[in-house]
Structure 1
């Protein structure tokens, strides 16, 4: 599979780290494109405040990002359609600006076969979440990988619906701060999000709640949700409470949930009393915390952890492989 990474920010760099750590996947990075200087791209890839330093040698020279002696073409085009991407299977669109069709389709105009957007986008022909609605993939060429929280939530909700039928529920994501928040108080469109992200817990909204209706339309309108941004740099959590239609005992529910989660291609399970930092760089979309699960009179509470950068990047590569496999 030949990919191009457009936008070498948090997700773009994390994707490249995963590609380099799994050579058996046979992924070739044909090009990296970012408006930052090559020296800055190399520096931010080599020294990562969340995942630590890259263990190999990193250089930027002659239009290349050179990692352990392996050169990758590095360009600075502000319009991807100006680049020749012939032979590229999938453009991983990680700039965060692919909100309109003309921007989202620039990778196609450059010659790539498909574009996978690293976030919600109204320009996408399909919003796809591995483990939730991936069976819907057809011949769409511009696909959204949804959000990190949607990737954590949707496979879990599908599992719960299959176990006992989801009647209604509420999700709270306890989410680490992101670049959409200021480090110190500064104006933002949202008053609460104008406060320093590393100084306070900030109640806000989650894009996952409108995306879940899109990904699982059969459950549309049954789930509500909110977000609480917290002063940690890495790893988020989902606290989900749902009412199930089918009657069962707590033991039956616990066994069914464990079996379904274990069988899922993107969910994980732990029986250990973990804290958020223990989940850093985990590739699952969500790791269900067994000790936190509760079930009373049809009401289930499920708590799980997700590395909103590493796990999401892993799903980008999974979905990219699906796109490349269809030709």
Structure 2
């Protein structure tokens, strides 16, 4: 009998529609973040939810339907849950793996037992955050923080700090850049401005726009901001002396740099060395390339051992380059970015050792800037300690992407048709292109895509959550 595919699709659409209000209520009322094998379903459309389920089939070869996850969601909605991250897909798979020896409700209750009737949110005020600088990373961080505002008890974006543009409609321009993005598309929601009070309202989130000529010249307390984490997106100051200026401001308590830090500043790649985050008042989130390659290198080194290797990055152009030929202090970077491939240096290979000391002295690196505005590619040419095969290496990294502590850092794609634009908006630090993997004995070549803007911003946001103490328990563990 031929399956009625269209009828099945319409039924799945109806179920996904029913899931949306439950997902939203769990998030707003309990700060419960729901996902399907790491793919968030919060504030997502019907199609997005169905596609998140389809992803499982592409990677695992097993079907996962909204018909299976919806009953799990219904059970969760009846429980008094504390803040947590719950993977609906993995709960369904876990239930099947235990041979359904108990009812679905009994299984779900047992899995989430640790977060039932936990700490309530009523007395939590959240962590104030200020974005210092509002360029590419600053605006994407704003989108992430607004998207995850929840009930206002977690990380709260309170202000952005910028230099005065000099134009009378400066606030309109800032809001306009947040509203529309040539690479990442339109903002999901509504944006309004209050020019008299220099305020932007994004999906109800009140954001104070502060004009300042220096990081030590703002009194945040006059805006009701206290104990704030300052995210410095400018890249101007990278050492303790420069970034320490932020801490001279009333209302500021810690600083997170969205660039490689210098001196004794810890360079954190979330998932790799985020255990080093203690009470540090200044931290760095390293670079986009370091975040993309370090998790894969750690995974490979843990299983196969890495003797040495070379990292070549094919990197989209950035604001540091000239649009057309003009003077630039760096070699070759003065040539038109949108017209040329430009050989340049990268510190990512040596920077890996700051997050992964066992890689010290093992890697060399270089980079080619290319005429694309976003999404880059790292080519890892490695000599391993033991021989392997393409299938063994790929299967191992696929498992790491789904079931390890690096599942938010390593993504996996199994298609011969993907190109760079397919990874715009990917939330992982890097994505292994499994169909491009080359292995010959102890030598391997891996191709790792990464959204050098948004994927990196997601890594920054994870560090921010850990600094703020809002990284909630994951279920299943």
TM-score (norm 2): 0.65
8 Å contact 1:175–1:230 — kept in the other structure?
A: yes
The within-5 A match list for 1:152-171 is 152-171=292-311
Q: How far does residue 314 in structure 1 lie from its aligned partner after superposition?
A: 0.7
Spell out, residue by residue over 1:228-272, the C-alpha distance to the aligned partner (whole angstroms, 9 max, x if none): 111011111111111110233443333222222332231100112
Query: Is 1:271 equivalent to 2:271 in the alignment?
Result: no
1:96 aligned to which of 235, 243, 257: 235
Moved more, 146-155 or 202-211: 202-211
Query: Is 1:16 equivalent to 2:142 in the alignment?
Result: yes
Query: Is 1:109 equivalent to 2:242 in the alignment?
Result: no
> Distance in 2 between the 1:252 and 1:45 partners?
44
> Distance in 2 between the 1:198 and 1:183 partners?
6
8 Å contact 1:164–1:246 — kept in the other structure?
A: yes
Spell out, residue by residue over 1:44-99, the C-alpha distance to the aligned partner (whole angstroms, 9 max, x if none): 21221211232423325222122245421110112232223452342111111113
The within-5 A match list for 1:41-60 is 41-55=174-188, 56-60=190-194
2:132 maps to what in 1?
Answer: 6
TM-score (norm 1): 0.94
- Relative to 1, partners in 2 of residues 1:123 and 1:11: Cα closer, same or farther, differing over 3 Å? farther
The within-5 A match list for 1:192-211 is 192-211=332-351
2:448 aligned to which of 283, 286, 304: 304
When you count helix as a share of all residues, which structure comes out higher?
2
2:23 maps to what in 1?
Answer: none
Q: How far does residue 103 in structure 1 lie from its aligned partner after superposition?
A: 2.5
- Relative to 1, partners in 2 of residues 1:217 and 1:70: Cα closer, same or farther, differing over 3 Å? closer
Q: How far does residue 27 in structure 1 lie from its aligned partner after superposition?
A: 2.3
The within-5 A match list for 1:114-133 is 114-122=254-262, 125-133=265-273
- Relative to 1, partners in 2 of residues 1:60 and 1:183: Cα closer, same or farther, differing over 3 Å? farther
- Relative to 1, partners in 2 of residues 1:306 and 1:312: Cα closer, same or farther, differing over 3 Å? same
8 Å contact 1:4–1:88 — kept in the other structure?
A: no
8 Å contact 1:46–1:58 — kept in the other structure?
A: no
1:67 aligned to which of 199, 202, 224: 202
> Distance in 2 between the 1:66 and 1:165 partners?
50
Q: How far does residue 124 in structure 1 lie from its aligned partner after superposition?
A: 5.6
8 Å contact 2:258–2:286 — kept in the other structure?
A: yes
Which entry has the higher C-alpha Rg, 1 or 2?
A: 2
SS of the residue 2:260 aligns to:
coil
2:61 maps to what in 1?
Answer: none
Task: Give the gaps of 5 or more residues in structure 1.
Answer: none
Q: How far does residue 215 in structure 1 lie from its aligned partner after superposition?
A: 1.9
> Distance in 2 between the 1:250 and 1:64 partners?
54
> Distance in 2 between the 1:249 and 1:269 partners?
17
Moved more, 108-117 or 177-186: 108-117
Spell out, residue by residue over 1:139-169, the C-alpha distance to the aligned partner (whole angstroms, 9 max, x if none): 2211110000000011111111011110001
SS of the residue 1:224 aligns to:
strand
- Relative to 1, partners in 2 of residues 1:127 and 1:40: Cα closer, same or farther, differing over 3 Å? same
The within-5 A match list for 1:160-309 is 160-262=300-402, 263=404, 264=406, 265-272=408-415, 273-309=417-453
Query: RMSD across aligned C-alpha pairs, in angstroms?
Result: 1.8
8 Å contact 2:238–2:257 — kept in the other structure?
A: no
8 Å contact 1:271–1:290 — kept in the other structure?
A: yes
8 Å contact 1:5–1:94 — kept in the other structure?
A: yes
2:215 maps to what in 1?
Answer: 80
Structure 1 stretches (4+) deviating beyond 6 angstroms?
none
1:134 maps to what in 2?
Answer: 274
> Distance in 1 between the 2:192 and 2:202 partners?
5
When you count strand as a share of all residues, which structure comes out higher?
1
Higher relative contact order (CA 8 A, sep 6+): 1
SS of the residue 1:261 aligns to:
helix
Moved more, 65-74 or 108-117: 65-74
